[in-house]
Amino acid sequence: MSIMSGPLCGGTSEVQEANDEVQRICDEEKAGKKFEVFTAKSYKSQLVAGKNYFIKVHVGGDEFLHLHVYKMLPYAGEKLELHGLQTSKAHHDPIEYF
């Protein structure tokens, strides 16, 4: 039995269902882009000097995107930066570090 309950610093978490915070991150990152829908479905996170989010987003029909969004630490204003985007994903595609 492990005494660690969360992810190790630098490692990614297990896949989790998206929550309101993850949806807000997605809403900010789609600014200026047109999608039929833009709904966060699941994500992994990674603790670094801030937090990386790897988010699976449903964009309509059978299409999904994977976003890599970095959230800065509180002293830096918790700003969000889009660090990567993978298109042409499907619901069954695993969320991986990119």
For the segment 85-96, what is each residue's pLDDT rounded down to a tens digit?
A: 999 999 999 999
Any domain includes 95: no
Domain count, the chain: 1
Any domain includes 83: yes
Residues 8-25: what's their mean pLDDT?
82
Any domain includes 34: yes
Report the alpha-carbon distance of residue 71 to residue 48 in Å, rounded: 10
Range of the domain at 59: 16-89
Give the pLDDT confidence of 20-56 residue by residue, as tens digits: 999 988 888 776 678 889 999 999 999 999 999 999 9
Burial 26-41 (b: 16+ CB within 10 A, else e): beebbeeeeeeebebb
Any domain includes 94: no
Any domain includes 9: no
pTM beyond 0.85, yes or no = no
Q: Would you state the pLDDT for residue 35?
A: 84
Are 89 and 66 a contacting pair, CB within 8 Å? yes
Q: Would you state the pLDDT for residue 4?
A: 42
Any domain includes 41: yes
* Residue 29 C-beta-side C-alpha neighbours within 13 Å: 28
Any domain includes 96: no
Q: Which residue has the tokens 């200026």?
A: 32
Q: Would you state the pLDDT for residue 1?
A: 40
